[in-house]
Amino acid sequence: MRMTGAKAIVEALHKEKVTTLFGIPGGVVIPLFDAIYGDKKLNLVVTKHEQGAIHAADGYARSCGKPGVCIVTSGPGATNIVTGLATAYMDSVPLVAITGQVPTAMIGNDAFQEADTTGITRPVTKHNFLIREPGELPLVLKKAFYLATTGRCGPVLVDVPKDMLTAQIEFDYPDKVSIPGYSIPEQGHARQIKKVMDAIKEAKKPLIYAGGGIITSNASDELKKFAKTTGIPVVLTLMGLGAFPASEPEFLGMLGMHGTKTANYATDRCDLLIALGSRFDDRVTGKLELFAPHAKFIHVDIDPASISKNVIIDIPIVGDAKQTLREMNKQAQKLAISDWLSEIARWKEEHPLTYSNDEVLRPQYVIDRLYEITKGDAIITTEVGQNQMWAAQFYKFNKPRRLITSGGLGTMGYGLPAAIGAQLANPDALVVDIAGDGSIQMNIQEMATIAQRALPIKVVILNNGYLGMVRQWQEYFFDRRYSATCLRRDKRCPDICCEPGPHCPPYVPDFVKLADAYGAVGIRIHKKADVDDALREAVTQDKTVLMDFLINPEENVTPMVPAGAPINKMISSKEDADAFLLA
Amino acid sequence: MEKEYTLAVTVENKSGVLAHIAGLFSGRGFNISELSVGETENPDYSRMTIVVKGDEKILDQVKKQLNKFIDVVKVIDLSGATAVHREIILIKVKAPAQKRQEVFQIAEIFKGKVVDLSHESLTLEVTGIADKIEALIKILQPYGILEMARTGRVSISRGAGKKGGTTNG
């Protein structure tokens, strides 16, 4: 069938069963938006900033597993999605971004709104394409969706010059593609699986260390079966939270920089570490040479380049986590590891995650109550920093795809637009963005998108008046020199200041008024006693509700592994930090 | 231990691929010491010969990261002894009439060709492995090297097969 390139893109989106996409129009992509105009099968969500569009597409993808799609214009439209591409790339999220480009004849001429999009995005995409022949469009789009959603998933970008959109082409959408330089590992090698099972039988102190790969490959049931059958305890990365139910006794918590003491001690003492879909990130390992120093390492990963990158692996398996775990489950048996389990049980009892249960309004309490009131069943998106770590520590994730957070890149401003995508992918779910007063402002404009779409998203701002995580590092390691982290600072403030004074405004900005301006409900919570009422009111309303919790300003995320320390050396106070710096 | 490794990388013959591979090396802090590119027997593919400096661990990562690229079809490690390595140098040296004969002799020893001649200089073309090229440069230095251009090595495995590669497919 003959049609324009723009129409061919729309047809390709239909073929790929895309129903929701995010974007903002601009000069060169007018023909594409024209082809989408009035299309009954495509729900186009126009955000207020391209970064919002790509994070929304990302939140959509993470919360339902289908690829997120985003369409923006050339030049600034394309450069505005770079952070979102990098975010998705680091966390292996399937996205297809379509960017407009200046007409072919003008490429390289510094044309209006021209940028070398494929050049700029090459290091932050799994792959990208620049269309040079309009006839390539169907095949390239097929390849883009195929690459984004298979193997180690990731963002793929297709850059389309304007003349490609207006040209007439024959639309013939392939059912299959083959790409010579690309293959998808499936089930791990049988001989390697046998080696793994033998090592597990011999281990006295085995530990499963699972990550986001379990969620991407939908392997949570298989992981649960494996841990339950063998009795091996489980620690999860930030990206892995929900991959194994937090309510199960085998679960020891998140490991790493802000992990539980139990998880980090178990990692330190184990004699066999079974890494499943996790990549030995520095926030997980701490000082690499001292990471799990007594352990033999098993690593199951779909990306061969992740294996033996940071830690030399004893038994590597290149394969899909789901299929490999299925095979492992066939051979799994109950292990006799009761000594190890009682050692762990002791740590669990001695070192639970805690916070002061006094009259002060503390963020951990807010999350605790949010967990209870939402019955642990909300989809939580987060911003980045303390808010993210408190969410990870105190909201107990029992199902996969319930924590939507920027782990690898650590992108502030991710949570609010990601919540849009998560809500659209899960219209009946309760979606909550846990935010800080700093990071929410990096994409606050998307409140307008949320209100216009009448999405009943709840925003929990843990407002401490600081860029809290940086302030915490400054408190611990820089003598409380709060350089550039006070969000209430104004022109009257002295150069050096680490204590709010009488002239300080109580908060900046007034988020309740801001909520009102966007047409959402705003609630300010000053006291611990008011937390429950506010949360209950918010979750029962079918409206966008923004809650501004004025929390203890200098609350810290603990325990904490100082950067460069081994993960069993956790600190919980300024005194601990001083001792660490002296050592 | 820091060593030099030679990789023959078959890639899709299209624009942007070289930039992508160069970007991988700079982005991940790998060092390229030599790089040459040209078409293969199949015009859809180009072949890059890349010489990398580093240890075994770096080489392993370089190979894995190259294999991960969609546009990379095959990576062959030619670091062993079973490969032929060649490089071309064009070198312009000062050669006034009284010195010219000496330079001709050097060219002959190195199995080189004189490809350009003027009153004051001559240009030699020499092919060989890196050691030979280095030796030539050293010998010509006293005469005064005016300009030189090296291709970087191209390498190919010995024997009939195309063995030794790790492919994506």
From B19's Cα to the closest Cα of chain A, the distance in A is 8
**Closest to A147 (Cβ–Cβ): which among B19, B60, B70?**
B70
State whether B70 and A179 contact (CB < 8 Å).
Answer: yes
Residue B166 in any domain: the answer is no
The answer to whether A146 and A16 have CB atoms below 8 angstroms apart is: no
Burial (Cβ within 10 Å: 0-12, 13-18, ≥19) of residue A32:
buried
Q: Which two tokens stand for residue B136?
A: 């030539």
Q: What is the pLDDT of residue A502?
A: 81
Per-residue pLDDT, averaged over A388-411, amounts to 98
Q: What is the pLDDT of residue B163?
A: 53
Residues B99, B75 share a domain: no
Residue B160 in any domain: the answer is no
Burial (Cβ within 10 Å: 0-12, 13-18, ≥19) of residue A187:
middle
B19 neighbourhood in chain A, CB within 8 Å: 119, 122
Q: Which two tokens stand for residue A212?
A: 């986001």
Mean pLDDT rounded to a whole number for chain A: 97
From A566's Cα to the closest Cα of chain B, the distance in A is 23
Q: What is the pLDDT of residue B1?
A: 78
* Amino acid letter, A555: E
In the residue annotation, A113 being an active-site residue is answered as: yes
State whether A181 and B23 contact (CB < 8 Å).
Answer: no
Ranges A183-187, A286-290, B158-162, most confident: A286-290
In the residue annotation, A112 being an active-site residue is answered as: yes
Instruction: Pick out chain B residues at pLDDT < 70.
Output: 162-169
Q: Which of B28, B45, B79 is the last residue of a domain?
A: B79
Q: Which of B46, B79, B112 is the last residue of a domain?
A: B79
Fold of the A2-170 domain: Rossmann fold (3.40.50)
Residues B47, B25 share a domain: yes
ipTM: 0.88
Give CA–CA dist A403/A392, Å, rounded: 8
Per-residue pLDDT, averaged over A83-107, amounts to 98
Give CA–CA dist B135/B91, Å, rounded: 13
pLDDT digits (tens, 9 = 90+) for A324-348: 999 999 999 999 999 999 999 999 9
A130 neighbourhood in chain B, CB within 8 Å: 16
A180 neighbourhood in chain B, CB within 8 Å: 12, 73, 168-169
Residues B51, B19 share a domain: yes
Give CA–CA dist A241/A210, Å, rounded: 9
Percent of chain A with pLDDT strictly greater than 90: 96
Domain ranges of chain A: 2-170, 190-350, 363-465+507-550
Q: What is the pLDDT of residue A402?
A: 98
Give CA–CA dist A485/A467, Å, rounded: 5
Give CA–CA dist A88/A81, Å, rounded: 11
Percent of chain A with pLDDT strictly greater than 70: 100
Asked if pLDDT for residue A519 goes beyond 90, the answer is yes
Catalytic residue among A162, A205, A261, A569: A162
Q: What are the residue ranges of helices labelled H in A150-279?
A: 162-166, 190-202, 212-216, 220-230, 261-269
Q: What is the pLDDT of residue A429?
A: 98
Residues B9, B74 share a domain: yes
pLDDT digits (tens, 9 = 90+) for A462-479: 999 999 999 999 999 999
Domain count, chain B: 2
In the residue annotation, A328 being an active-site residue is answered as: no
- Give, in order, the Cα–Cα distances in Å from A244 to each of A68, A225, A276, A394: 25, 10, 12, 15
Give CA–CA dist B98/A195, Å, rounded: 74
pLDDT digits (tens, 9 = 90+) for A19-37: 999 999 999 999 999 999 9
**A284-288, A376-380, B81-85 — which is least confidently predicted?**
B81-85
| Boundaries of domain holding B19 | 3-79
Q: What is the pLDDT of residue B80?
A: 78
* Amino acid letter, A200: I
Give CA–CA dist A147/A94, Å, rounded: 8
Which CATH number is B115's domain given?
A: 3.30.70.1150
Q: Which of B79, B111, B142 is the last residue of a domain?
A: B79
The answer to whether A445 and A417 have CB atoms below 8 angstroms apart is: no
Residues B88, B39 share a domain: no
Chain B residues near any Cβ of chain A (below 8 Å): 11-12, 16, 19-20, 23, 27, 57, 60-61, 64-65, 67-73, 168-169
Residues B89, B61 share a domain: no
In the residue annotation, A244 being an active-site residue is answered as: no
**Closest to A180 (Cβ–Cβ): which among B27, B60, B73?**
B73
From A507's Cα to the closest Cα of chain B, the distance in A is 41
State whether B60 and A118 contact (CB < 8 Å).
Answer: no
Which CATH number is B13's domain given?
A: 3.30.70.260
Domains A2-170 and A363-465+507-550 share a fold: yes
Residues B24, B90 share a domain: no
Per-residue pLDDT, averaged over A107-127, amounts to 97
State whether B19 and A119 contact (CB < 8 Å).
Answer: yes
Q: For CA atoms A450, A451, A456, A460, give the dihedral sign.
A: positive
Fold of the A363-465+507-550 domain: Rossmann fold (3.40.50)
Give CA–CA dist A535/A141, Å, rounded: 44
State whether A122 and B71 contact (CB < 8 Å).
Answer: no
Residue B167 in any domain: the answer is no
State the pairing for strand pair A168-170/A155-161: unpaired
Q: Which two tokens stand for residue A580?
A: 């660490």
Q: What is the pLDDT of residue B164?
A: 53
Q: What is the pLDDT of residue B160?
A: 84
**Matching residue, tokens 């923004």:** A546
Give CA–CA dist B136/B113, Å, rounded: 13
Q: Which two tokens stand for residue A318?
A: 């290149």
Which CATH number fits the domain A190-350, given the four candidates 3.40.50.1220, 3.30.70.360, 3.30.470.20, 2.60.120.10?
3.40.50.1220
First to last CA, chain B: 31
Per-residue pLDDT, averaged over A293-320, amounts to 96
Q: What is the pLDDT of residue A298?
A: 98
